[in-house]
Structure 1
């Protein structure tokens, strides 16, 4: 009888220990603590590793394009990211760049694969539900790119029978369906694929932000922008939701980069409007 009672007490004690351990694990997770007690805040991780991991485009000429000769990613977003790293960490080389697309950038951010996205990303109310944004770092506007001599001169020419190319996951694809509901919209994985499709005659126009289209026209002068801009597309740097400290640090650094004249230097280097 005594052995049975001791066995029962042992089971109760074991159950209590397991229950406390489970509750403790839940509390740690809720507080954002890892098993070793380290803070999971993104800014804390950046400071610990002493390096920023930015998500950038690899296919967007003038903003983020991988140079096939050097293997390095180059552009406005890249240089700005380096300038921000210098302000925050004291050295522009304390950066790592990972490729993102319009479709993958938010999932990669939320999965913790990158610290921030600086990749021609338009600030929108819909996206604010998923991520937090810094102040605007570049003012763009959606436009159309066509083969020079095209009959398409603006939105009014996008009617039934016309085909417009866009990129999956972009605000441009949503906007063009609203602005030109009769046109057929074909979506591609990235800007390189979309531009290749335009050059091969698979569409009548390509639509995205004018800043990106300038890069395509710079690459192939037989194409040009038409119709001006028909939206406002303010670019912001995106971070995982709830990381106010990181947003504040980036905003402070962005202001310093602008006040010092470094921002204008970077912009003039890459962006030459037609």
Structure 2
């Protein structure tokens, strides 16, 4: 029977070999490296959220985030490859490796943070109601909206749905599967209120005469927008954050935003 010291020595040797093997295991490649090698940055977006990202009839995309991604990819010396997703599939597509980051007016939430990284927030953009202009005075607060008979509509899979379900217990809730036509439901009277981010509410009141954003400068709930990045890829996050910092410092970011919101 081997002595205690021999057994202990063998255990220590085995542990040392295991730690050595782990130390020699190559770290997963960063998107910062793989994108530059491939010459392409794969970008997921739902493409249904003006003014951040919207897919046009010719299948191309436009919006604040589309313009900003053109700047990011140019800084990397690569081309953007746009991948259409949905709000329900936004996180699964990113975590499955179908894209390198996700954009398109994504709200920062702790639930998303559990599964992915966020870039530094690039915009404060709280929850704002939009309703028919004749009804603006009726829907000033959450309490005003959360009443029996008020028809609240929301789109699935994102922070708008979470806000509606958390805050409206007496109002009549309706899930509308298609974000592009949800504003027409309010305009036509089939819904009374839709609560979304202030930037979208401001944009849609310009596009849909008869609809008004309600106090977009005083949102019902504080919110931030950021880009969704793969978890544990600190090198890529650091790069995106630094690019965003420089874009803001140079005035490039503000020029892009003003081009869509002013």
Check whether TM > 0.5: yes
Q: What residue in structure 2 maps to residue 232 of structure 1?
A: 222
Q: What residue in structure 2 maps to residue 175 of structure 1?
A: 163
Q: What residue in structure 2 maps to residue 47 of structure 1?
A: 36
In the alignment, structure 1 residue 219 sits paired with structure 2 residue 207: yes
**CA–CA distance in structure 2, aligned partners of residues 260 and 106 of structure 1:** 31
In the alignment, structure 1 residue 157 sits paired with structure 2 residue 147: no
The normalised TM-score by structure 1 is 0.79
Shift of 1:40: 4.5
Residue-pair matches, total:
236
* 8 Å Cα contact 1:138/1:235 also seen in 2: yes
In the alignment, structure 1 residue 132 sits paired with structure 2 residue 117: yes
Q: What residue in structure 2 maps to residue 250 of structure 1?
A: 240
**CA–CA distance in structure 1, aligned partners of residues 83 and 206 of structure 2:** 25
Larger radius of gyration: 1
**CA–CA distance in structure 2, aligned partners of residues 218 and 242 of structure 1:** 40
* 8 Å Cα contact 2:87/2:158 also seen in 1: yes
Structure 2 runs not aligned, ≥5 long: 1-20
Pick from 178, 199, 202 the counterpart of residue 187 of structure 2.
199
Deviations 1:125-164 (A, max 9, x none): 1111011111001110101111110263322322112111
Shift of 1:43: 2.7
* 8 Å Cα contact 2:47/2:104 also seen in 1: no
**CA–CA distance in structure 1, aligned partners of residues 204 and 26 of structure 2:** 43
**CA–CA distance in structure 2, aligned partners of residues 125 and 59 of structure 1:** 23
Shift of 1:221: 1.7
In the alignment, structure 1 residue 261 sits paired with structure 2 residue 251: yes
Structure 1 runs not aligned, ≥5 long: 1-26, 34-38
In the alignment, structure 1 residue 120 sits paired with structure 2 residue 105: yes
**CA–CA distance in structure 1, aligned partners of residues 107 and 126 of structure 2:** 10
In the alignment, structure 1 residue 209 sits paired with structure 2 residue 197: yes
Shift of 1:64: 1.1
* 8 Å Cα contact 1:136/1:236 also seen in 2: yes
Q: What residue in structure 2 maps to residue 19 of structure 1?
A: none
**CA–CA distance in structure 2, aligned partners of residues 40 and 201 of structure 1:** 52
**CA–CA distance in structure 1, aligned partners of residues 203 and 84 of structure 2:** 18
Shift of 1:186: 1.6
Give the aligned CA root-mean-square deviation in angstroms: 2.2
Shift of 1:123: 1.0
SS at match of 1:136: coil
The normalised TM-score by structure 2 is 0.82
